[in-house]
Amino acid sequence: MSQIALPLDWPAGAQESDYLVSAANRPVVRHFEHWSLWPVMATILVGPRKSGRSLLGRIFAAKAGGELIDDAEQADEERVFHAWNRAQEHRRPLILIADRPPPLWSPVLPDLRSRVAASPVVRIEEPDDDLVGQLLEKLCHDRGLAAPPELIRYLVPRIERSYLGVHRVIEALDELAYQKRQRLTVPLARHALQALDIIDESRIGA
């Protein structure tokens, strides 16, 4: 696990330095590191919600002097079409963030459809155990919650392997800690997971 380290002398900002890299998203970061080698100056970035895809896209677009269109599937197709052409003309990268890659994303505009089909696709995968632990720590820190190591060790093998699942657990812990006026502990976490019926004991040996 590491913090993001991209080329072009990318300075570390508060959000940038918080972008965590693991096996789940390292291929995407490497793809962006070598954007000058892209077959076309556009990439479609897909991945689960809450995976940091928009943050990564904003960081890269800002530092590479490129353009970002989030929720590209819902964007005006003429706008996306002209952005794609502009990226080729000026040799500056365009990042299109979408929920679905082609051919599941199939624009109505024929000229845009062909350009989308010609663009490379990179995907952020669901988090591995390492990233789940790091995300739990980060989200607790962002909410001003002290997360002792034993709490993280307890949660990692028991919760859903998804970004939304991690966020849901932290929200539940934050709410329960506030209600009970308690700090975060393993017993509190056990209570929260059981109350939400989201504990996953199947991954834990008896």
Q: Is the distance from CB of 57 to CB of 86 less than 8 angstroms?
A: no
For each of the chain's 206 residues, which pLDDT tens digit applies? 444 444 333 333 445 666 788 888 999 999 999 999 999 999 999 999 889 899 999 999 998 999 999 999 999 999 999 999 999 999 999 999 999 999 999 999 999 999 999 999 999 999 999 999 999 999 999 899 999 999 999 999 999 889 999 999 999 999 989 898 889 999 999 988 887 776 655 455 43
Model confidence, pTM: 0.81
Q: What is the CATH number of the domain that holds 189?
A: 1.10.8
Distance between CA atoms of 206 and 193, rounded to whole angstroms? Answer: 18
Q: Are residues 91 and 185 in the same domain?
A: no
Quick one: which of 50, 38, 12, 1 has its CA closest to 152?
Answer: 1
Q: Is the distance from CB of 47 to CB of 54 less than 8 angstroms?
A: no
Q: Are residues 116 and 71 in the same domain?
A: yes
Q: Are residues 13 and 104 in the same domain?
A: yes
